[in-house]
Amino acid sequence: MYGMVNSGIRSMVLDQYGENVWQRIVARVPNCPDEFMRMESYSDDVTYGLVGAACEELGVEARSLLHELGEYWIPYASKAGYAVLMERGGRSLPEFLQGLDAMHSRLALTYSSGEEGGRWPSFRVTDVSDASLRLHYYSQRQGLQPFVVGLLHGLAKQFGTTVEVELIEGREMHSDHDIFLVRYSA
């Protein structure tokens, strides 16, 4: 994954738990640097290792940590230099989600295409109404659904709306991708 993801994990841990906790987490992950270049590609093993080590260190389940990271990610990405890109992403939650793939395409042009980092997720929106939509999430990486749910909650906060997210179809259910029913209101 790109260093931006690992930097986000690092930033969240430092902000919420402090330097000592971060150092203990990094020490648990083989060949893990203390800091990351945001636009460089790192092995997925480093990212998954950081999540696993953080769960052990903090005594939380991966689902909980990934959800927390997803919520944290939205303001983090804005502070990390992507505020304009995010502002241009849309004026509402549905509009933003409908443009997410285009945003990833623009970002992919600026990032190095390392072996693992270049595998961007894909999002497609269907069945949009005034109160709900279906978000189709495609990724070669396993286990990141809680991160996506956290992202949706973080985006809802950004747009001043409330959101309920339900996984209605997923790879665990023998689908080739995950489908979330997203209900929202202002």
CATH value at residue 148:
3.90.1520.10
Which residue range is the domain that position 100 belongs to?
93-185
Higher pLDDT, residue 5 or 173: 5
| Average pLDDT for 110-127 | 71
At 118 the pLDDT is 55
Residue 178 lies in a domain: yes
In this structure, what DSSP letter does residue 160 have?
T
| Average pLDDT for 94-98 | 94
105: pLDDT strictly greater than 80: no
At 117 the pLDDT is 47
108: pLDDT strictly greater than 70: no
Residue 58 lies in a domain: no
Residue 167 lies in a domain: yes
At 107 the pLDDT is 62
How far apart (Å, rounded) are the C-alpha atoms in residues 73 and 83?
12
Residue 18 lies in a domain: no
**Which residues are CB-neighbours of 145 under 8 A, at least 6 positions away?**
137, 167, 170, 178
40: pLDDT strictly greater than 50: yes
Using one digit for the tens of pLDDT, what is the confidence trace for 175-185? Answer: 899 999 999 99
pLDDT above 90 covers what percent of the chain? 67
Residue 74 lies in a domain: no
At 111 the pLDDT is 56
At 81 the pLDDT is 74
How far apart (Å, rounded) are the C-alpha atoms in residues 33 and 41?
13
Residue 180 lies in a domain: yes
Whether the Cβ atoms of residue 94 and residue 128 lie closer than 8 Å to each other:
yes
Q: What is the dihedral of CA 39, 43, 11, 140, to 10 degrees?
A: 90
Residue 49 lies in a domain: no
Number of domains the chain is built from = 1
| Average pLDDT for 45-69 | 97
